[in-house]
């Protein structure tokens, strides 16, 4: 347990000082890593915790990005004020979309979410209501202004993304220690047992969607800020597959697992840019090998998230027994 | 309140085949009601109808006077009907304490935003229910396993965890589906003692069990079913000597022991 805390602490410390160590190329990779890690964590609430086979997570990420882009470019809203909309709109739409399919069994739900993702991409590419800008997307998104400061440097955007990651981790920690968070685990592990304990399965699954979509929406907003542009191909089916794979490769509902998954899927390919497109072989190979060798992910989740006074009792009881023997 | 559960003329069919045929059973608070019968008699189907997993085609099921026929399982559980399963359904990878905490779900008053922001209300609510988990672990002698994953525990201990989980919800009707299945003699004796203690809490208990010694020593009243039909009912001593029951069991008794 202490080892994990140490690794986590070191990781967060390195991430906090990363902009001072990296050149501009690496800084921009760093921002993408943070944003995608947040999206992966939000997918992990839906897929890892609630066990819902959501293969359309790029929808909520994209919805957040487009909300910021549309409100800023078409309605001249300050970026900072678009963020609440980029959180709430995906959240509401996730519940509306998932509502009619939430009772479906895993594989059927997966196909339905793929369908949603394809529709979403079509809506973006076809410039619906003249808002989404068609296949080229929307560009010319403003810089972030807070209290008269313009945050245009990559370093400041990095810290926005880092802040979002920290908030996301805090939310997930709080979620895991609450009635709602535990309900998601119970549903994932055994639906019939969960139902028989009085847990309303559909309600909690929709809750998982709402939380997941809200966090993904916030990440989308930062993504739009980073590139000052959005386009449909960043939010297509293939992106959803990536977010799905990160969770399974890294380890469902495992915080270090998700970080490792994001690293393997998004940062490693950047290390091998001289191999051009063939570097994506890493994706494929990583997915196949992990599923064969470590079906629960590179760093599987551990349970036993219980208060200290209960743990202490368990330890003292065990040692007492050992003495009497 | 005279009866905690009233099953009135309930029938359940699967693709035209009769699984339960016109059963009427009434359970009083503080009573252990045994349901016995050969394999495939429809006992578990009956329990699934009561807990909402199946909806019976005919008849009504009332819990504390309220009609719960065809209600969704979680709503029935929220009202205070809790169960255990014949083949044990625990959240395997999770610890004993976390499993029992699942039973506190309906009792916890946390709202959705408490999963994001931990207020002082949250802290009180959380502590209250973990304390309850602690009490239940002591009652069942599970404290030493608090942090152990249930999949790593012996069968007999898993049975106790499942019962503790159900009791955490403060049920008024506890449904036990073959609690002694797969247990050795000592474990069965211990379980009998525990069930007697649970009975003292004043809740109604409905129990399917094949271990006849256990049934005879524990239950207050018994209904015997075969092919979905009631063939006998009454006090344990009466049922034991009923020729119809003996007839139903002859030839099938050995199979039962293997289960």
ipTM of this complex: 0.91
Query: Cα B235 vs. chain centroid, distance in angstroms?
Result: 20
Indicate yes or no: CB of B130 within 8 angstroms of CB of A175: no
> What percentage of residues in chain A have a pLDDT greater than 70?
95
Mean pLDDT of the A31-55 span: 95
- Alpha-helical (H) ranges within chain B are 43-50, 73-79, 96-103, 120-139, 155-167, 185-199, 212-218, 236-241, 243-249, 253-258
Residues of A with CB under 8 A from a CB of B: 171, 174-175, 177-183, 185-186, 189-190, 192-201, 207, 211, 303-307, 309-311, 313-314, 317-318, 321
What SS3 state is found at B29? Answer: coil
Q: What is the pLDDT of residues A51-91, one digit of tens each?
A: 999 999 999 999 999 999 999 999 989 999 999 999 999 99
d(CA B173, CA B166): 10
Q: What is the pLDDT of residues A81-126, one digit of tens each?
A: 999 999 999 999 999 999 999 999 889 999 999 999 999 999 999 9
R_g of chain B computed on alpha carbons: 19
| Residues A192/B89, Cβ–Cβ less than 8 Å | yes
Q: Along the 259 residues of chain B, how does pLDDT read in single tens digits? A: 689 999 999 999 998 888 999 999 999 999 999 999 888 888 999 999 999 999 999 999 999 999 999 999 999 999 999 999 999 999 999 999 999 999 999 999 999 999 999 999 999 999 999 999 999 999 999 999 999 999 999 999 999 999 999 999 999 999 999 999 888 889 999 999 999 999 999 899 999 988 888 899 999 999 999 988 899 999 988 988 888 888 887 755 444 444 4
Burial category of B64 from C-beta neighbours within 10 Å (exposed 0-12, middle 13-18, buried 19 and up): middle
Indicate yes or no: CB of B105 within 8 angstroms of CB of A190: no
- Residues composing chain A: 325
Domain limits, chain A: 2-324
Indicate yes or no: CB of A306 within 8 angstroms of CB of B148: no
**pLDDT value for A143:** 85
**pLDDT value for B83:** 95
Q: Which fold has domain A2-324?
A: ABC transporter involved in vitamin B12 uptake, BtuC (1.10.3470)
We find that the CATH architecture of domain B1-80+171-259 is 3-Layer(aba) Sandwich (3.40)
Residue ranges of chain B assigned to CATH 3.40.50.300: 1-80+171-259
Mean pLDDT of the A276-291 span: 78
**Other residues' Cβ atoms within 10 Å of the Cβ of residue A220:** 33
Q: Which of B76, B91, B89 is nearest to B171 (CA)?
A: B76
Task: Identify the bridge partners of residue B12 per DSSP, sorted by sequence position.
Answer: B20
| Whether residue A23 has pLDDT greater than 70 | yes
Indicate yes or no: CB of B94 within 8 angstroms of CB of A189: yes
d(CA B177, CA B23): 18
**pLDDT value for B252:** 52
């Amino acid at each position: 347990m202490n080892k994990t805390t140490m690794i986590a602490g070191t990781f967060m410390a390195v991430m906090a000082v990363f902009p001072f160590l990296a050149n501009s190329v690496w800084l921009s990779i760093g921002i993408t890593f943070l944003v995608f890690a947040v999206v992966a964590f939000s997918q992990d609430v839906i897929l890892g915790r609630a066990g819902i086979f959501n293969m359309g997570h790029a929808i909520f990420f994209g919805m957040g990005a487009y909300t910021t882009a549309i409100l800023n470019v078409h309605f001249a809203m300050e970026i900072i004020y678009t963020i609440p909309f980029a959180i709430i709109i995906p959240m509401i739409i996730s519940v509306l979309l998932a509502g009619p399919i939430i009772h479906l069994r895993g594989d059927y739900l997966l196909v339905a979410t793929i369908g949603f993702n394809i529709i979403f991409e079509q809506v973006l590419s076809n410039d619906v209501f003249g808002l989404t800008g068609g296949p080229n997307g929307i560009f010319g998104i403003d810089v972030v202004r807070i209290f008269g400061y313009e945050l245009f440097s990559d370093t400041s955007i990095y810290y926005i993304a880092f802040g979002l990651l920290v908030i996301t981790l805090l939310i997930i920690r709080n979620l895991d220690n609450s009635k709602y968070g535990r309900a998601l685990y119970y549903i994932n592990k055994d639906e019939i047992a969960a139902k028989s304990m009085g847990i309303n399965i559909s309600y909690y699954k929709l809750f998982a969607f709402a939380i997941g979509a809200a966090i993904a929406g916030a990440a989308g907003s930062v993504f739009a800020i980073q590139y000052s542009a959005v386009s449909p191909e960043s939010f297509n089916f293939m992106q959803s597959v990536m977010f799905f794979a990160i969770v399974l490769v890294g380890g469902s509902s495992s915080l270090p697992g998700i970080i490792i998954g994001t690293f393997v899927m998004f940062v490693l390919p950047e290390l091998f840019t001289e191999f051009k497109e063939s570097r994506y072989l890493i994706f494929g190979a990583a997915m196949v090998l992990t599923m064969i060798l470590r079906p629960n992910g590179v760093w599987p989740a551990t349970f036993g998230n219980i208060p200290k006074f209960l743990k202490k009792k368990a330890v003292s009881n065990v040692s007492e027994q050992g003495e009497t023997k | 309140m005279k009866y905690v559960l009233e099953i009135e003329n309930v029938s359940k069919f699967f693709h035209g085949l009769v699984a339960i045929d016109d059963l009427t059973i009434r359970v009083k608070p503080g009573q252990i009601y045994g349901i016995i019968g050969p394999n495939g008699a429809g006992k578990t189907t009956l329990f699934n109808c009561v807990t909402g997993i199946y909806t019976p085609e005919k008849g009504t099921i009332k819990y504390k006077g309220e009609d719960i026929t065809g209600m969704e399982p979680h709503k029935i559980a929220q009202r205070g009907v809790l169960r255990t399963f014949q083949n044990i359904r625990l959240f395997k990878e999770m610890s004993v304490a976390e499993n029992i905490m699942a039973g506190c779900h309906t009792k916890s008053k946390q709202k959705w935003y408490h999963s994001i922001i931990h207020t002082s209300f949250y802290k009180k609510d959380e502590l209250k229910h973990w304390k309850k988990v602690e009490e239940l672990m002591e009652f069942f002698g599970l404290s030493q396993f608090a942090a152990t994953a249930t999949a790593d525990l012996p069968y007999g201990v898993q049975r106790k965890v499942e019962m503790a989980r159900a009791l955490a919800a403060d049920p008024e009707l506890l449904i036990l589906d073959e609690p002694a299945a797969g247990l050795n003699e000592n474990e069965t004796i211990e379980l009998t003692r525990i069930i007697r203690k649970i009975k003292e809490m004043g809740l109604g208990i409905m129990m399917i069990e094949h271990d006849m010694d256990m049934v005879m020593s524990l239950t207050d009243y018994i209904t015997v079913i075969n092919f979905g039909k009631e063939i006998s009912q009454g006090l344990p001593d009466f049922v034991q000597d009923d020729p119809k029951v003996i007839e139903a069991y002859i030839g099938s008794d050995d199979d039962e022991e293997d289960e």
